[in-house]
Amino acid sequence: MKTKRNKSISFVTICVFHFFLFSFVLLLLYMLTNYSINKRLENAFPSIDSLLEYQDDLMHDAYYQIPIHKYQDCDFIIYDEKGNDLYSTSKNIRNQLSSNDLMLIHGYDADTFYSLSIGFDQIEQKKRYYISFYQYGEDASLSLLDDCVLDENYQIIDGNLFSDRSYLTKQELNLIQGRFDSERDIEKYEYVSVNDEKRILVFISPHINENSYERVLNEANQLWLFAVPLIFLMIIVQSYFFSRRVKNSMKQLDESIVSYQSGNIVDADEKKMPLEFKRTLDKFSDLRDHLEEAKKQKDQLYKEKQQLIVDISHDLKTPLTVIQGYAKAFIDGKIDKKDTDKYMNAIMNKAQLATDLLNTLFEYVQMEHPGYQANLEEGDLGEFIKAFLAKKYSEIEDKEFVLNVEIEDKKIMTLFDKKLMTRLLDNLLSNALRYNPRGTAIDVSLTELEKEMILIVADDGVGIPQEIVHKVFEPFVTGSVARTSGSGSGLGLSIVKKIVELHHGHIELLSGNKTSYATEIRITLSK
């Protein structure tokens, strides 16, 4: 019995949903924290690029709309092409800079720049300042345009770089180096406003060094102190809801299985039970049905075995009774001397029949043991079958049967147990000889393929009734059911099937419209 099939979510979908939800929230939290840290670093160490984000305001002379306050310790001042200051964020900056200083300030995208180096005059034993003026060519080559030398008091003592001046100030030297003062840098950017008027933007920002960067970075990373607890809180919340969902799903499954034990079926709440769990219930129900069916089959098999014991007991009782009667007649002296040989032969035949029945039963039971193994040895299977058929030929001819053999004249090497293979061939031929009339043709063929061999034993005799074809290889299906003579123990073909399985092969019976023969046994063996 199975649960009702309604639409419900899959357990895998539940797991995937919670996984992606957790991953998304975790990623979102990480991105927000990282974004906040980067923004803090960016605002702590702004460059002129930060101010150029407001290019539109600059071109429209809307300087008051630029939020310079969010950039710590930063200022800017705007000059026109005549050197007049149009706007400044700090009065002190305006007082400390003049239009004459603009030529010394490094341009943001300029192809010329100053370079300052400090040296020592070995002859005069005095400090010297060397200023060079370079220009980048179109091919990115660097060329020196001019230079000059300053003494320790910033007096120009050599060079034509500043030919109209005799000295530079300390502040001018700082501007050449890109420094506004000891703590801040300076840079300029030239552009044209929407009114085609030239503008010069001078931007002053904090100087970046290792200590200042490390200090700001440590302050920014403190945001993780707030993010980590949030991550742990999110993990706890997510784990709680996920475990609750799983427990509710398992609860439905558990209640349904427990109800099976009592023989009652409790309908699960399909809205709470994932699809896979309902399938598990279906499989559990199917398993119970199969167990019931297996129990019935086991009972039937037990009855068949009991019947076999009765049949074998009867078959053994008949020859043993004859033996006992003839033996008693000999003891009582009731047998004429002229009939002695006849009765002795009868005793011998009945004893042989009883022995054969016991040997067959013992052989089948032995092969059914889990520890039984075939003694596989490499040999020419084709030559082996030919030799066996040669030994059986006189018996086949005496019973007026026709034997047709199709085995190629080449070596067909494989691993097989010679004793078991002899038993297999003997059982198949004995069945054909026992249950078919005289004149029946028996065909034996062995075909070698790339990875396997096909052994066929077939005849054009009376065939097998269709009602038992499907169970002819089962044990205890006797000849009285399968054929017409009423002889046999019902274990011959079962032993054949077991021998094929011990050789890792496959056996099947073909009859009716599946073959051109009345009966065809097809055996497939791995090479």
As beta bridge partners, residue 132 has 115, 147
State residue 261's pLDDT score: 63
pLDDT class for 256, splitting at 50, 70, 90?
low
**Residues 467-525 pLDDT 10s:** 888 888 876 565 444 433 345 566 788 889 999 999 999 999 988 888 889 999 999 99
Mean pLDDT over residues 130-149, rounded? 92
pLDDT at 1 over 50: no
State residue 154's pLDDT score: 94
Comparison of pLDDT for 218 and 403, the residue scoring more = 403
Q: Report the top-level CATH class of 377-526.
A: alpha beta
pLDDT class for 2, splitting at 50, 70, 90?
very low
Average per-residue pLDDT in the chain? Answer: 83
CATH hierarchy code of domain 275-368: 1.10.287.130
Comparison of pLDDT for 13 and 454, the residue scoring more = 454
Cα-Cα-Cα-Cα torsion 381, 382, 387, 390, nearest 10 degrees, comes to 140
pLDDT at 312 over 70: no
How far apart are the C-alpha atoms of 222 and 41, rounded to whole Å?
A: 12
Mean pLDDT over residues 356-374, rounded? 74
Lowest mean pLDDT among 163-167, 236-240, 301-305: 301-305
pLDDT class for 437, splitting at 50, 70, 90?
very high
Mean pLDDT over residues 239-246, rounded? 78
State residue 320's pLDDT score: 78
pLDDT at 330 over 60: yes
Residue 188's nearest CA partner among 82, 111, 85, 108 is 108
Mean pLDDT over residues 418-438, rounded? 91
Structure tokens at 189: 């950017």
- pTM here is 0.42
pLDDT at 447 over 90: yes
Cα-Cα-Cα-Cα torsion 159, 160, 166, 170, nearest 10 degrees, comes to -70
How far apart are the C-alpha atoms of 459 and 444, rounded to whole Å?
A: 9
State residue 400's pLDDT score: 93
Q: CATH 1.10.287.130 in the chain, residues?
A: 275-368
Mean pLDDT over residues 351-360, rounded? 72
How far apart are the C-alpha atoms of 272 and 252, rounded to whole Å?
A: 7
State residue 71's pLDDT score: 84
State residue 383's pLDDT score: 95
pLDDT class for 259, splitting at 50, 70, 90?
low
Comparison of pLDDT for 45 and 397, the residue scoring more = 397
Within 152-274, where are the H helices? 170-176, 210-221, 224-261
pLDDT at 311 over 70: no
Q: Pairing relation of β-strands 126-136 and 142-150?
A: antiparallel
- Identify whether the C-beta of residue 508 lies closer than 8 Å to the C-beta of residue 460: no
Cα distances (angstroms) measured from residue 497 to each of 148, 380, 444, 448, 450:
109, 21, 17, 20, 23
Listed in sequence order, the residues at least 6 apart from 479 whose beta carbon sits closer than 8 Å to its beta carbon are: 434, 435, 485, 486, 487, 488, 490
- Identify whether the C-beta of residue 269 lies closer than 8 Å to the C-beta of residue 252: yes
Structure tokens at 506: 């496959």
State residue 485's pLDDT score: 39
- Identify whether the C-beta of residue 396 lies closer than 8 Å to the C-beta of residue 433: yes
pLDDT at 179 over 90: yes
How far apart are the C-alpha atoms of 241 and 391, rounded to whole Å?
A: 80
Q: CATH 3.30.565.10 in the chain, residues?
A: 377-526
pLDDT at 418 over 90: yes
Other CB atoms within a 10 A radius of the CB of residue 58 amount to 22
- Identify whether the C-beta of residue 175 lies closer than 8 Å to the C-beta of residue 101: yes
Mean pLDDT over residues 24-53, rounded? 81
Percent of the chain past pLDDT 70, that is, above it, reads 84
